[in-house]
Structure 1
Amino acid sequence: MASGKLSPRQKMINLMYLIFIAMLAMQMSKEVLSAFGYMNEKLTENNVTTSAKNAATLQNLSTKAQEQPEKYASLFTVAKKVDELSKNFNNYLADKKEFFLSKVDDPTNYETMDNANIVNEYFFKGDKFTAEGQEFLDQINNYRNAIVKLLGDNNPLTKNVNKRFDTSDQDTEDGKQPWLKNRYEGFPLISTITNLTSLQTDIVTTQSEIYGSLLGGQLESDVSMSNYKTILIPEKSAFFQGENFKGKIVLGRYDASLKPSEVVVNGKNITKLEDGGAILDFPAGAVGEREIKGKFVFIENGKPVEIPISSSYAVIPKPNSAVISADKMNVVYRGVPNPMTISIPGIPDNLVKAKGIGLNKVSGSGKYVMTPKSGREVKISVSGKLPNGQTITTSQNFRIKDIPSPRGSVRKEMGYVKMPKTTLAKVTVGAELPDFDFDLKLKTSGFTVKVPGQSAVVVKGNRMSAQALKAISKAKRGDVIAIFDIKSSLVGNNSYKIKNAAAVSIEIQ
């Protein structure tokens, strides 16, 4: 363009062309400088927003560590250490930016921040680094190594951190070049400011990823299927033969680190916890359906969260003896109260109803008394209401028998008795019910005495009359005196007629 013989006019045109190109280059350089400045502004705004989110996440972890220390305390310790390392490194970078910006008149006029000497003189001395340059590298490397140590080599985030804060030598067309020279030597000041802000972005991004990994890892552990077990929930606590079993199987998570702040069951605080559950141990209570009411209380975000407890269980009578029934011995006796126990297994006494002619309930669970009336048989019907509301009914027939005939006695002796006639004159004539299951008292109202060779004497009451004594006085040794037609009645029940007692014979000695 400047070679050869040119006219003055052409030389002027060429000179103007060169000036025009130089002006274009200068204009492009200013646009690039402004672009770096605008990028720095965007990165700074993003860092402020991300830092605020990180602070909120860290506070959330702190709260959870207080509420559920077994689960979150160790995670918060890691997060707190990451926060401390990040703040120190971030503050160091902020100080460097402030130092470099103090070298310019207007930090917002990016088109004037094209000087590379400020950074070159600060970081480099010939082919080597200044103390400040080496410190800058050490700050990056120390932060990276400390974070990697916290995460561990097998953590998926470790690769990102190593790449993000890599300061190894860089490949160029002329071979390997130190990272610091490759990124900062000869670049305009605004480029360095933007690079420092970008490092701050890498810091807050690293924080965000680690916090998210800590919370996400715990959440993943919480919802992992390996933590779940099957739980059978029956529709009710007891089923009867012939019924269909109804219920459902659900998945429940057993978590020993999940500890409520309070557990209340039936008005009492439960303090024994195991695998995240409250251990219950209290008297089952009376027979019947019993409710379990209460609540689990957890602290979440500083506020109590209540989870209600509402369930029930059935208490059935505890068997303490075998049930043995003689099928042919369903007998009740007329004239006496026959005690009975009536119950239906699995149904509380207050839901059992029994009825029959002469049947009455007395105090005591399942206790009744049967006093038979006329006839030879009585039917007892029993009904009960199951927990599902269904009513079952059953019945049993009992034969009615009279009280057996008593046996006559003297001196409580029956049958054939030997005694002197002087003793006989003083005895009381009675009626006994040997081998009878009921403890009945009989009162003798009269009898007849027959002495051999004498007329029979009818006596009222239970002791010998004067006429009977006169007849007995004529008896001889070896005579057998018969006492028969012994009449008696039940003490306390004169309406029932007892059969005459069997005779008793007395041999005079």
Structure 2
Amino acid sequence: MAGGKLTPRQKMVNLMYLVFIAMMALNMSKEVLSAFGLMNEKFESSNKDAQSNNEALYATLASKAGENAAQYGEAKKVADQVQKVSADFYAYIESLKVDITKEIEKVDGKLPYEAMDKGDKIDETWFSGDGYSKKGQEVVAAIDKYRTEMAALLAGNPKFVSVIRDVNAKFATADVKDREGVTKKFLDYHYKGFPAIASLTKLSAMQNDVETIEAAIYSAALGKAAEDAASYSNYAAIVVLDKNAYFQGEAVTGKVVLGRYDAKTVPTSVSVNGGSVSMENGQAVLKIGAGSIGEHEINGNFVFKESGKDITIPIKGQYVVVPQPKDATISADKMNSVYRGVDNPMTVSFAGVSANDVSATAPGAWKKSGDGKYNWNVTSVSGDKAKISVTAKLPGGKTATSVKEFNVRPIPAPVAELRGKINSGKGNKNDLLNSTIRVAFPDFVFDVKTQVTSFELSVPGSSTLVVQGDKFNGAAQALINKAKRGDVITINNVKCTLIGVPGYTVKGSAPFAWEVQ
């Protein structure tokens, strides 16, 4: 169109072509502005859903902390601070959005996106010359405050390393180089000279980042608390002697075991009363001299390796050396306490007295299964203590009676189990959709048969759904299908009943986190 001598007709054609190009550019500009507006609507809708999901995750963590402060208390403290810092910064961003739009008249309740092509409000308020105004400095300071406070709250915990990295990346306010290599201040690069609708959308996106990070922290906190509960540092050593009273000069025999033990639970070392002992099938075999008449203590340590560090579990116990039978020896075959909902195998004996001359009674369902062997079901026993009364016929026709008190405990809360995994797993959505929800009692020594009755399903961006039964129904499958790769789906509060024990209620399970691949 340039150079040469053009005819009047060619000049007219060229002019019309230029007008056509200008009209296309004008229409494209309006389409871009509308696109920003629609994107802002999606961000704001997603933010509302994210807030609801975060409230549900926080409520779950708070509930767990109320039920088990030792396991979830520290995670709850972190969540409390994260919730406040996130809410304060989210509200501040919202105030910036209000400032941008308060003088713009809405049409049918909506912002006129195509008319929001100017950025005068931000340009005049956030900037002064080549630098920031007082308001611009305030905006940068608010972003920096959120970033540093969140990093400080999560520091020192390896579970939050990726979250801290995300916070530092998404809320960095350092200078930025543009495509031409020119260094610009943070706000200049992202907001100066931009249309108002573009700046509004960027602020909504920043709010979305806040909600996403908050959700990641809550999910990690729940997982971290469950992982800590399985740590060796939370186990207790139990001294189980063959009998509790010994004659003077007799060898004290028995076992020192962990609350949960098997052949794979092998410590680095075990020491008892200053000497080392051998291990057999996950048990420390104990054999020491009984000593003089009176009480004696058993002290020592299990030492395990965990994450490259030595974890020491103290061994504490005691026994009594007596000159003649005066008291009964009563021990639970599996644990020191008795549990509701199951038959607790019990061994009852009286030192120096034949099993035929020993009888025992207890509240609840108490059944004899052999010489000195009983099954005790305390499901119907009220309170948290129960006593066994033992009567023995001593030589010479006299009788002796002894009473032993036990702690009555509920069955511990189970953990959710999917596809043979507990606490967490990962795979595609079809793997999850075809799974059956079960529960497991990994730290419980009894074989418990259960039937899952309901569970809670949480998918990022959606409200928590309560599902009846042990499989995903249509609503649950639709919710799972919304998840994207990298999302963490949580199955929580799995409820179940004990097969063969009607009326007994088991606590809801710890959460199970499924990462979508």
- State the structure with bigger RCO (CA 8 A, min sep 6), 1 or 2: 2
Q: Which structure has the larger Rg over C-alpha atoms?
A: 1
